[in-house]
């Protein structure tokens, strides 16, 4: 019981760190990592729910869900990485949300 | 005649099969794609006929029964959404066939165009399979998977245009979509922990108010709102929709945002309708009002045609959310019918609009609204399609949007919450404003001067017109689709739930 | 669908189908387009005559199309519908003839005639609408189909006028939508022709019904150009003359007025509305419009604008007649629906002739113009004198019944309004006539647009002559069995009892 609660809270913590990273960090790679962290947190919470209170048997459904989720998350990450490469290629700019700031700097420099 | 379950499986398997085929045999993609679109239309027709004959149905995939297995649930709403996807998708496919057969620009541009064609068809068919699966599934986790398939395909399609702005928008779209999925998945996990089941029909029987349910539901909803781009979470939508290729914009705005709204409608309108407090609906309705005002105001300010249409999508999505508190308010089926009509007619009208805008873009070489005067002389059919689609977005009779608005207005007045109705009327006046901005340019006749004389294949113009006409006439033909909806209303029949007891 | 229903649908299709075909025809094919236009108009006239004969024999035609339970479109032929649809069809035929001549050299005729045909379809749809929803449908569509006509010239000025027009009519349409939806919530589907729905609701809803009445008037008043809502009308004068003629005589403004008649007669019922004291404010509003419109007309030097303000004033006669709540006044108002149409279309045709042949737009340029264009100015004079209300003409009949009705209802001040307005009418029409007939011309007109013996193209000349003859005929033969007056008496008999 306590272990499960521990898992839950670590899952939540991972989630919170991931969310913070996703919103605050500016580099897309960091964002992707943060999103992966979030997903891992969710998976942890799901797994810890597999043995509910008072149950002796472990429920296999969350495991199946997490396995599927991992597949989904891997493919999402792949697409995201490709996109980052593409953006880098066309814009020479990896800093996603600082676009406007940079342009402003560029203008004052020029 | 095969039964409904057969057609339902076809609807998922066929697009997937053709998606893979057209990826493997890229040379034949432009054959496989339209073929899949027609087959899909045929399957939806078969499904509708057998549904009309035998009524709602649950189908356990692979024979695995409920607590463990995944069910398909075929009811009126599901059939209507599938039909919407089939009709709009068919028109977009025909449009895309013309679009990718164009010979444009320099050799370098042409090779990029070829590349786009090679990837468009597999991605679009994959997205289609995801949408079909989403509408058919009754299992919240399976829906997560289909949502992700749809989302990934949509992101890739957005990036397809290759413009830096489009790629940037796609990346942002992907990150937002990731966050939404994460939130949705956590919600699913919490719900599963509460009830040990993920089938929507079963859940609707089991739910009881409690903190864990609220958390789960809030997370589910937040994820879906992010994907539906409800104001103020809409920031990612306009650049993504406006910078994509024309057929892709039509798909994204017409179909993809509807998928996550459909889920919200299921959850808020059916599954959790009994336990959710009215205040929650009011909150969503209020956000919808914000979307209507903000989207329309932004659309009025845009300088580029495709941005205007994209902001119009933000505003029109607001309409759908205004309908939610009215669904709660309405004892009868009117509000539900209205929201479905709004979804259907917006899908047709908005796709037609983006398709027409795409033709205009190709012909004029730009989409600056201020410089479009005279385009009617060289593209009469597309201009007509654009204006007609705009008129049906304004909710003019006899469009489907009008009947929907009329029903909602009636519900809001009858229920004493007239402000929702006033908001709808205000919204259509604002819509009239931004449609007028473009239409007044298009309808002017003046000697046209356009540097790029691109011949537009007739199929591109006519597919847009047909969709626009359909949106306009949907109000006159509203009876039969809504009968289908009514037929599926007792979908949560005991048949599927007996396993649980 | 029964045969009668088919007849109604055919009446609509007889101008819709030519309109759609015209859009598909290439711009250059003038002859097929003219044949289609005139053929459609004649065919429609034939169908309308058939319908009128049927109504006269006591038959009743309806056709329904259900959208949803409780939400259906209904076309219905009652005498009032027949009156308005006959008027639109006859005037459409003449206006089409006129427009073919008027636009002979101008570009973009395909678009003009396409929208023109659809516009008439919609107007007849308004006439035949059997319930409020159908009325609303056609009323809104009318806004859309007339917009391209108003902005037909595509100039900056035309576009600005079009914008003003849209702002007014779309807002009016939105208000009307709310009103119709509200009433439907209270009373269910509202059909015309039966016992008035509002009267059957009972005392509990009186407050709401009163509020609703004003919503309706605000929605309909925009197109009917009641005074605070008339701003679009003078500006819409930038449209080509046939459009102005049709907009002012039948299509847009009449749709609004017709809606008010329907509202008072078929939705509220005169007795009930009068009982709620709803009609007195309407009378006051109409009187204000009459006086204000005339005063504005006095100031205008632009001929078409003067005519436009005259329309503002004349339309309110119809509203006035309906709102006085007596059979005689109602006869006067309703018959003015027809008479004003005939007179005003004559005036606009003539104004168009002057502008097209000689380039004369202002009244100050009209000195001695009757010497150059005697036939046109004769027709114009008939129309103008009719508007003032000189005895044998159509306008006299209307004013006579209006005055008698006001006396019968003991409203002396309404009579005073009529007298003042007649004086004002005279004040803004007679100077034109005097200038045209009795002052020497400033310059010689003969070299401009001279075309042999006839003063202008016969297609421009025939329609105003015909309508001018009609103006005299309906006045002289008012007591004949098939005159508009007789028909209106039949309608009013249905409303008030014989």
Q: What is the pLDDT of residues B129-187, one digit of tens each?
A: 999 999 999 999 999 999 999 999 999 999 998 888 899 899 999 999 999 999 999 99
Cα–Cα dist C282/C216, whole Å: 12
Q: Least CB-CB distance to A38: which of B148, B170, B182? A: B182
Q: What is the DSSP string of B434-459?
A: HHHHHHHHHH-------S--PPPPHH
Q: Which of B4-8, B183-187, B261-265, C457-461 has the lowest mean pLDDT?
A: C457-461
CATH code: domain of residue A96: 1.10.287.3510
What's the pLDDT band for A93 if we cut at 50, 70, 90? Answer: low
Instruction: For A62, name the nearest residue in chain B, comparing CA atoms only.
Output: B189
What's the pLDDT band for A108 if we cut at 50, 70, 90? Answer: very low
Inter-chain contact A86–B186, Cβ cutoff 8 Å?
no
Is any Cβ of chain A less than 8 angstroms from the Cβ of B162?
A: yes
Inter-chain contact A90–B167, Cβ cutoff 8 Å?
yes
- Chain B residue numbers with beta carbons less than 8 Å from the beta carbon of A38 are 179, 182
- Chain A residue numbers with beta carbons less than 8 Å from the beta carbon of B141 are 65, 68
Q: Least CB-CB distance to C67: which of B414, B425, B479? A: B479
- The residues spanned by each domain of chain C are 1-276, 278-498
Residue B206, pLDDT score: 86
What's the pLDDT band for C195 if we cut at 50, 70, 90? Answer: confident
Cα–Cα dist B354/B298, whole Å: 17
Please compute, for residue B209, the number of CA atoms within 13 A of its CA located in the half-sphere on the CB side.
Answer: 5
- Tell me the average pLDDT across B343-354: 95
Residue C129 has phi, psi (to 5 degrees) of: -55, 130
Is any Cβ of chain A less than 8 angstroms from the Cβ of B189?
A: yes
Closest CA to C285 of C136, C414, C167: C414
Inter-chain contact C181–B482, Cβ cutoff 8 Å?
no
The dihedral built from the CA positions of residue C352, C358, C363 and C368, taken in this order, carries a sign that is negative
Residues B260 and B227 sit within 8 Å (Cβ to Cβ): yes
Residues, chain B: 501
Structural domain count, chain A: 1
Query: How, if at all, do strands C62-68 and B57-60 pair?
Result: unpaired
- Is the pLDDT at B491 greater than 60? The verdict is no
Residue B499, pLDDT score: 37
Residue B488, pLDDT score: 57
Cα–Cα dist C223/C234, whole Å: 12
Cis peptide leading into residue B398 (ω within 30°): yes
- Tell me the average pLDDT across B18-22: 94
Helices C241-249, C252-262: axis angle to 10 degrees equals: 10
Inter-chain contact B175–A90, Cβ cutoff 8 Å?
no
Query: How, if at all, do strands B57-60 and B71-74 pair?
Result: antiparallel
- Is the pLDDT at A105 greater than 60? The verdict is no
- The residues spanned by each domain of chain B are 4-500
What's the pLDDT band for B450 if we cut at 50, 70, 90? Answer: low
Residue B152, pLDDT score: 95
Q: Least CB-CB distance to C137: which of B391, B397, B407? A: B397
- Is the pLDDT at A94 greater than 70? The verdict is no
- Chain B residue numbers with beta carbons less than 8 Å from the beta carbon of A45 are 186, 189
Q: Which of A49-53, B384-388, B457-461, C411-415 has the lowest mean pLDDT?
A: A49-53
Rounded to the nearest integer, the mean pLDDT of chain B is: 88
The dihedral built from the CA positions of residue B94, B95, B97 and B101, taken in this order, carries a sign that is positive
Residues paired with residue B45 on neighbouring β-strands, in sequence order: none
List, in order, residues 6 or more apart from C321 with CB less than 8 Å away.
C329, C330, C331, C332, C333, C334, C336, C398, C401, C402, C405
Closest CA to C205 of C223, C187, C226, C228: C187
What's the pLDDT band for A40 if we cut at 50, 70, 90? Answer: very high
Residue B249, pLDDT score: 96
Q: Which of B93-97, C133-137, C443-447 has the lowest mean pLDDT?
A: C443-447
Q: What is the pLDDT of residues C63-79, one digit of tens each?
A: 888 888 778 889 988 88
Is any Cβ of chain C less than 8 angstroms from the Cβ of B49?
A: no
CA distance C65 to chain B (A): 8
What's the pLDDT band for B451 if we cut at 50, 70, 90? Answer: low
Inter-chain contact B164–A38, Cβ cutoff 8 Å?
no
- Is the pLDDT at A107 greater than 70? The verdict is no
Q: What is the pLDDT of residues B237-270, one digit of tens each?
A: 999 999 999 999 999 999 999 999 999 999 998 8
Q: Whole domain around residue A82: which residue ranges?
A: 2-109
What's the pLDDT band for A55 if we cut at 50, 70, 90? Answer: low
- Is the pLDDT at A54 greater than 70? The verdict is no
Q: What is the pLDDT of residues C432-447, one digit of tens each?
A: 999 888 888 776 665 5
Percent of all residues in chain B with a pLDDT value above 90, rounded to a whole number: 60
Q: Least CB-CB distance to A72: which of B68, B145, B170? A: B145
Residue C1 vs residues B207, B211, C6: alpha-carbon distances, Å: 50, 59, 7
ipTM at complex level? 0.89
What's the pLDDT band for B280 if we cut at 50, 70, 90? Answer: very high
CA distance B282 to chain C (A): 22
CA distance C168 to chain B (A): 11
Residue B495, pLDDT score: 39
Residues belonging to chain C with any Cβ–Cβ distance to chain B shorter than 8 Å: 65-68, 71, 73, 107-108, 111, 133, 136-137, 140-141, 144, 148, 151, 154, 159, 162-163, 166, 170-171, 174, 177-178, 181-182, 184-185
Inter-chain contact C181–B410, Cβ cutoff 8 Å?
yes
**SS3 labels along B37-92:** HHHHHHHHHHHHHHHHHHCCEEEEHHHCCCCCCCEEEECHHHHHHHHHHHHHHHHH
Residues, chain C: 498
- Chain B residue numbers with beta carbons less than 8 Å from the beta carbon of A39 are 182, 185
The dihedral built from the CA positions of residue B47, B52, B53 and B54, taken in this order, carries a sign that is positive
Q: What is the pLDDT of residues C4-49, one digit of tens each?
A: 788 899 999 998 999 999 888 888 888 888 898 889 999 999 999 9
Between positions 304 and 363 of B, the ones with CB within 8 A of C are: 337
Residue B482, pLDDT score: 83
Residue C451, pLDDT score: 52
Please compute, for residue B84, the number of CA atoms within 13 A of its CA located in the half-sphere on the CB side.
Answer: 32
Cα–Cα dist B380/B375, whole Å: 8
Residues B315 and B295 sit within 8 Å (Cβ to Cβ): yes
- Chain A residue numbers with beta carbons less than 8 Å from the beta carbon of B175 are 22, 28, 31-32, 35, 80
Query: How, if at all, do strands B71-74 and C62-68 pair?
Result: unpaired
Q: What is the pLDDT of residues B33-82, one digit of tens each?
A: 999 999 999 999 999 998 888 888 888 888 888 777 888 988 889 999 99
What's the pLDDT band for B498 if we cut at 50, 70, 90? Answer: very low
Q: Least CB-CB distance to C66: which of B428, B436, B479? A: B479
Rounded to the nearest integer, the mean pLDDT of chain A is: 80
Residues C259 and C180 sit within 8 Å (Cβ to Cβ): no
Is any Cβ of chain C less than 8 angstroms from the Cβ of B396?
A: yes
Closest CA to B36 of B10, B48, B18, B11: B18
List, in order, residues 6 or more apart from B16 with CB less than 8 Å away.
B125, B126, B129
- Chain A residue numbers with beta carbons less than 8 Å from the beta carbon of B196 are 52, 59
Is any Cβ of chain A less than 8 angstroms from the Cβ of B424?
A: no
- Chain-centre distance of CA C97, in angstroms? 18
Cα–Cα dist B157/B250, whole Å: 11
CA-atom Rg of chain B in angstroms: 22
Candidates A42, A81, A100: best to mutate against B (most CBs of B within 10 A) is A42
Q: What stretch of H or E contains B177?
A: helix B164-195
Cα–Cα dist C420/B303, whole Å: 53
- Chain C residue numbers with beta carbons less than 8 Å from the beta carbon of B444 are 151, 154, 159
Residue showing tokens 């027609």? B38
Cα–Cα dist B482/B83, whole Å: 13
Percent of all residues in chain C with a pLDDT value above 90, rounded to a whole number: 32
- Is the pLDDT at B497 greater than 50? The verdict is no
What's the pLDDT band for C452 if we cut at 50, 70, 90? Answer: low
Residue B433, pLDDT score: 92
Residue B493, pLDDT score: 38
- Tell me the average pLDDT across C127-144: 92
- Tell me the average pLDDT across B323-352: 90
Residues B147 and B220 sit within 8 Å (Cβ to Cβ): no
- Chain C residue numbers with beta carbons less than 8 Å from the beta carbon of B410 are 181, 184-185
Percent of all residues in chain C with a pLDDT value above 70, rounded to a whole number: 97
Is any Cβ of chain B less than 8 angstroms from the Cβ of A90?
A: yes
Residues B364 and B371 sit within 8 Å (Cβ to Cβ): yes
Q: Which long-range contacts (CB under 8 A, 24 or more apart) does C43-50 make?
A: C43/C14, C44/C11, C44/C14, C44/C15, C44/C89, C44/C92, C44/C93, C44/C120, C44/C124, C45/C89, C45/C90, C45/C93, C47/C7, C47/C10, C47/C11, C47/C14, C48/C11, C48/C82, C48/C85, C48/C86, C48/C89, C50/C7
Residues B11 and B47 sit within 8 Å (Cβ to Cβ): yes
């Amino acid at each position: 019981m306590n272990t499960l609660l521990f898992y839950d809270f670590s899952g939540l913590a991972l989630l919170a760190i991931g969310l913070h990273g996703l919103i605050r960090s500016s580099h897309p790679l960091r964002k992707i990592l943060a999103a992966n962290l979030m997903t891992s947190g969710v998976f942890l919470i799901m797994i810890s729910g597999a043995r509910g209170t008072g149950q002796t048997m472990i429920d296999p459904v969350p495991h199946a869900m997490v396995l599927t989720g991992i597949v989904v998350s891997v493919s999402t990450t792949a697409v995201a990485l490709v996109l980052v490469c593409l953006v880098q290629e066309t814009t020479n700019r990896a800093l996603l949300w600082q676009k406007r700031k940079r342009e402003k700097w560029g203008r004052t420099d020029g | 005649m095969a039964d409904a379950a057969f057609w339902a499986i076809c609807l998922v398997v066929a697009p997937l099969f053709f998606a893979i085929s057209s990826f493997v045999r890229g040379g034949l993609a432009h054959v496989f794609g339209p073929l899949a679109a027609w087959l899909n239309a045929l399957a939806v027709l078969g499904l509708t006929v057998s549904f009309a004959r035998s009524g709602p149905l649950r189908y356990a995939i692979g024979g695995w029964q409920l607590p463990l297995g995944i069910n398909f649930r075929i009811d009126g709403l599901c059939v209507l959404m599938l039909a919407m996807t089939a009709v709009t998708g068919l028109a977009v496919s025909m449009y895309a066939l013309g679009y990718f057969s164009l010979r444009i620009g320099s050799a370098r541009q042409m090779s990029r165009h070829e590349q786009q064609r090679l990837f468009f068809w597999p991605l679009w068919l994959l997205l289609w399979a995801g949408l079909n699966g989403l509408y058919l599934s009754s299992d919240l986790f399976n829906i997560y998977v289909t949502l992700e398939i749809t989302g990934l395909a949509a992101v890739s399609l957005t990036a397809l245009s290759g413009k830096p702005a489009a790629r940037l928008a796609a990346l942002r779209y992907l990150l937002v979509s990731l966050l939404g999925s994460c939130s949705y998945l956590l919600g699913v996990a919490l719900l599963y922990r509460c009830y040990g089941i993920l089938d929507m029909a079963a859940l609707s029987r089991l739910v009881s108010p409690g903190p864990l349910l609220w958390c789960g539901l809030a997370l589910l909803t937040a994820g879906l709102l992010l994907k539906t781009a409800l104001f103020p979470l809409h920031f990612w939508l306009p650049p993504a929709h406006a910078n994509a290729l024309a057929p892709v914009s039509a798909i994204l705005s017409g179909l993809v945002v509807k998928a996550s709204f459909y889920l919200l409608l299921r959850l808020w309108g059916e599954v959790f309708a009994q336990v959710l407090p009215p205040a929650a609906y009011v909150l969503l309705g209020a956000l919808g009002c914000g979307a209507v005002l903000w989207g329309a105001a932004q659309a009025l300010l845009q300088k580029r045609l495709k941005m205007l249409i994209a902001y119009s999508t933000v505003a029109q999505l607001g309409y759908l959310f205004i309908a939610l508190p009215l669904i709660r308010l309405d004892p009868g089926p009117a509000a539900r019918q209205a929201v479905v009509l709004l979804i259907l007619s917006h899908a047709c009208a908005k796709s037609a609009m983006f398709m027409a805008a795409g033709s205009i873009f190709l012909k004029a070489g730009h989409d600056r609204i201020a410089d479009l005067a005279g385009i009617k002389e060289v593209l009469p059919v597309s201009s007509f399609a654009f204006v007609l689609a705009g008129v049906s977005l304004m909710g003019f009779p006899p469009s489907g949007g009008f009947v929907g608005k009329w029903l909602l207005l009636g519900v809001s007045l009858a229920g004493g919450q007239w402000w929702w109705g006033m908001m709808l009327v205000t919204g259509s006046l604002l819509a009239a404003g931004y449609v007028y901005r473009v239409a007044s340019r298009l309808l002017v006749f003046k000697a046209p001067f356009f540097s790029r004389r691109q011949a537009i294949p007739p199929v591109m113009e006519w597919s847009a017109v047909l969709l626009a006409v359909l949106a306009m006439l949907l109000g006159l033909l509203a009876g039969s689709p809504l009968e289908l909806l009514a037929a599926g209303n007792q979908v949560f029949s005991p048949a599927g739930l007996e396993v649980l007891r | 669908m029964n045969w009668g229903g088919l007849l109604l649908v055919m009446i609509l299709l007889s101008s819709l189908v030519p309109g759609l075909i015209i859009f598909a025809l290439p711009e250059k094919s003038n002859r097929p387009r003219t044949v289609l236009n005139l053929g459609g108009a004649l065919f429609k006239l034939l169908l309308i005559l058939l319908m009128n004969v049927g109504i006269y024999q006591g038959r009743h035609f309806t056709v329904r199309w259900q959208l949803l339970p409780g939400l259906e479109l209904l076309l219905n032929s009652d005498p009032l519908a027949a009156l308005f649809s006959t008027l639109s069809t006859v005037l459409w035929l003449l206006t089409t003839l006129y427009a073919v001549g008027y636009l002979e050299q101008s570009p973009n005729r395909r678009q003009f005639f396409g929208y023109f045909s659809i516009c008439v379809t919609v107007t007849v749809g308004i006439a035949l609408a059997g319930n409020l929803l159908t009325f609303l449908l056609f009323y809104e569509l009318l806004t859309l189909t007339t917009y391209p006509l108003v902005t037909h010239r595509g100039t900056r000025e035309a576009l600005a006028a079009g914008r003003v027009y849209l702002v007014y009519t779309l807002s009016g349409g939105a208000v009307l939508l709310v009103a119709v939806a509200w009433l439907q919530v209270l009373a269910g589907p509202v059909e015309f022709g039966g016992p008035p729905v509002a009267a059957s609701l009972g005392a509990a809803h009186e407050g709401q019904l009163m509020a609703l009445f004003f919503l309706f008037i605000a929605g309909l008043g925009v197109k009917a150009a009641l005074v605070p809502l008339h701003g679009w009308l003078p500006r819409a004068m930038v449209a080509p003359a046939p459009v102005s003629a049709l907009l002012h005589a039948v299509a847009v403004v009449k749709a609004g007025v017709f809606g008010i008649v329907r509202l008072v007669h078929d939705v509220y019922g005169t007795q009930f509305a009068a009982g709620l004291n709803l009609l007195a404010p309407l009378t006051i509003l109409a009187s204000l419009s009459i006086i204000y419109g005339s005063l504005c007309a006095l100031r205008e030097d632009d001929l078409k604008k003067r005519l436009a303000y005259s329309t503002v004033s004349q339309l309110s006669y119809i509203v006035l007649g309906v709102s006085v709540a007596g059979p005689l006044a109602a006869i006067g108002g309703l018959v003015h629906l027809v008479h004003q149409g005939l007179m005003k279309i004559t005036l606009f045709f003539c104004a168009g002739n002057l502008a097209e042949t000689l380039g004369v737009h202002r009244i100050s340029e009209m000195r001695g113009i009757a010497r150059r264009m005697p036939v046109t100015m004769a027709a114009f004079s008939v129309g103008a004198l009719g508007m003032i209300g000189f005895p044998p003409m159509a306008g006299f009949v209307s004013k006579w019944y209006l005055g008698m009705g006001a006396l019968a209802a003991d409203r002396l001040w309404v009579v005073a309004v009529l007298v003042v307005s007649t004086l004002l009418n005279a004040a803004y029409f007679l100077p034109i006539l005097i200038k045209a007939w009795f002052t020497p011309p400033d310059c010689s007109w003969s070299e401009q647009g001279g075309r042999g013996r006839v003063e202008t193209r016969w297609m421009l000349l025939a329609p105003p002559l015909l309508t001018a003859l009609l103006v005299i005929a309906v006045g002289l033969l008012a007591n004949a069995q098939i005159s508009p007056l007789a028909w209106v008496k039949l309608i009013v008999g249905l409303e008030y009892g014989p």
